[in-house]
Amino acid sequence: MAGLYLHIPFCKSKCVYCGFYSTVNQKDMDKYVRFLTKEMSLRSRETNGGTIKTVYFGGGTPSLLQISQLQQITTAIKQHFSIEENAEMTIEANPEQLTKDYCLNLKTLGFNRISIGIQSFHDEILQFLGRKHTAKEAILAVENAHAAGFENISIDLIYGVNERNNTLWQKELETAFHLPIKHFSAYALTVEENSLLYRRIHQHKTVEPDEDLASIQYNILSESVENSPFAQYEVSNFAMKGWESKHNSAYWHRVPYLGLGPAAHSYDGRHRSWNAPTLSAYYTQIEKEKTCFEHEALTGIDQYNEFVLLGLRTHNGINLREMEELFGLERTASFQRYFKTEVENKLYRLEENRLRLTPQGLWLSDGIASGAFLTNIVDS
Ligand code: SF4
């Protein structure tokens, strides 16, 4: 078991694009901390005594928790799990909570990586997205984290927002590159079915994000990164050399992880499981001492499809020898045939038994991967 994920399902308000499970009712936070630590005691045996290499507090907004609440959680983690000495320990945070004191306290609790939800350095775009911070606060948050001793700082950005033209996007990237960060994630604005943006589009209050704009801004991103100290290592993730997210990289390499909290997923190498999707259902699940809500065994076809989908999203691509060892010669040959016959040459490279998508191919990676999926073959 390499990774531990803790979902903190509270937010100050709902951002327009967000489809993650979270609640704006913050009354329950103490109760939630108690249930989360109870879930640790119920599920720690799933790690089989293995060492945890990465811990990730995601959400929701983990930085809405007070330091004393975070301390209860980190103490329980140490009680129930064996954590590697230099484990990567990340907390997602929103800029408005990141005072210098809060950052110093996070360091004292053992966090060594902070991922800040900035999304934009432009106030009008932040307002459109429903974010509660200003551009000035976003920059100050990074400076506070850095001044508190965080070296491993990541920020999130969103592109393909109709309100932002290409020149502005380029400028925002330059702003990001001048901050003391080692990593950033950049996501195209998408319309999640259960988001406010989805509802507003269907009520004709706003228009859908322009896909061509997103594609152009992805190209601007790729070109800007070429001339920066960062390199793309996954469709949406960019890092200085050696500062790639260990936790997320483990997901893409299908390393097992345990996810705690409502709507959290877990993976043990052969099964995926899901916790109850809402807080009230989660409380019921934990009160009944049920370790998960739903559970599915991955078939050989599922494992192959995940290998293809996740591998093609990363800069390392797919190691064809590994594919052959895991799934056999015939499937590997048919995978290569698919690329030769169906995928444009400019979208991928095949070098030393490794097939990887070019930046242009990465933009289309989900579609390219789905063309290689197995669907109708009887699983062996
Ligand atoms: S984007 Fe983040 S802060 Fe905004 S509602 Fe979703 S989880 Fe909360």
In this predicted structure, what is the pLDDT of residue 1? 61
By the 8 A CB rule, do 244 and 183 touch?
A: yes
Distance 61 CA to ligand 1 centre (A): 7
Which of 7, 14, 23, 119 for mutating ligand 1's site (highest number of atoms within 8 Å of CB)?
A: 14
Which of 12, 18, 94, 157 for mutating ligand 1's site (highest number of atoms within 8 Å of CB)?
A: 18
* Ligand 1 pocket list (CB less than 6 A): 11, 14-15, 18, 20, 22, 59-61, 94, 117
Distance 196 CA to ligand 1 centre (A): 12
pTM for the structure as a whole:
0.95
Return mean pLDDT, the chain. 95
Look at the alpha carbons of 7, 99, 115, 105 in this order and tell me if their dihedral is positive or negative. negative
Distance 13 CA to ligand 1 centre (A): 8
Which atom belonging to ligand 1 lies closest to the Cα atom of 19?
6
d(CA 6, CA 305): 26
Which atom belonging to ligand 1 lies closest to the Cα atom of 13?
5
Residue 28 reports pLDDT greater than 90? no
Residue 376 reports pLDDT greater than 60? no
Distance 192 CA to ligand 1 centre (A): 13
Q: How far is CA 23 from CA 10, 20, 64, 200, in A?
A: 5, 10, 12, 19
What proportion of the chain, given as a percentage, has pLDDT over 70? 98
In this predicted structure, what is the pLDDT of residue 377? 47
Enumerate the β-bridge partners of residue 279: none
The residue whose C-alpha atom lies closest to atom 5 belonging to ligand 1 is 14
In this predicted structure, what is the pLDDT of residue 375? 78
d(CA 230, CA 245): 13
In this predicted structure, what is the pLDDT of residue 379? 45
Distance 18 CA to ligand 1 centre (A): 6
| Three-class SS of the chain | CCEEEEEECECCCCCCCCCCCCECCCCCHHHHHHHHHHHHHHHHHHHCCCEEEEEEEEECCHHHCCHHHHHHHHHHHHHHCEEEEEEEEEEEECHHHCCHHHHHHHHHCCCCEEEEEEECCCHHHHHHHCCCCCHHHHHHHHHHHHHCCCCEEEEEEEECCCCCCHHHHHHHHHHHHCCCCCEEEEEECCCCCCCHHHHHHHCCCCCCCCHHHHHHHHHHHHHHHHCCCCEEEECCEEECCCCCCHHHHHHHCCCCEEEECCCCEEECCCEEEECCCCHHHHHHHHHCCCCCCEEEECCHHHHHHHHHHHHHHECCCEEHHHHHHHHCHHHHHHHHHHHHHHCCHHHEEEECCEEEECHHHHHCHHHHHHHHCCCCCCCC
Give tens-digit pLDDT for 252-283: 999 999 999 999 999 999 999 999 999 999 99
Once rounded to an integer, what is the mean pLDDT over residues 355-363?
97
Distance 57 CA to ligand 1 centre (A): 13
Q: What domains can be seen in the chain, in order of their start residue?
A: 3-252 (3.20.20.70), 300-372 (1.10.10)
> Which of the four pLDDT bands, split at 50, 70 and 90, describes residue 378?
very low
The residue whose C-alpha atom lies closest to atom 7 belonging to ligand 1 is 60
The lowest-confidence range among 19-28, 159-168, 267-276, 330-339 is 19-28
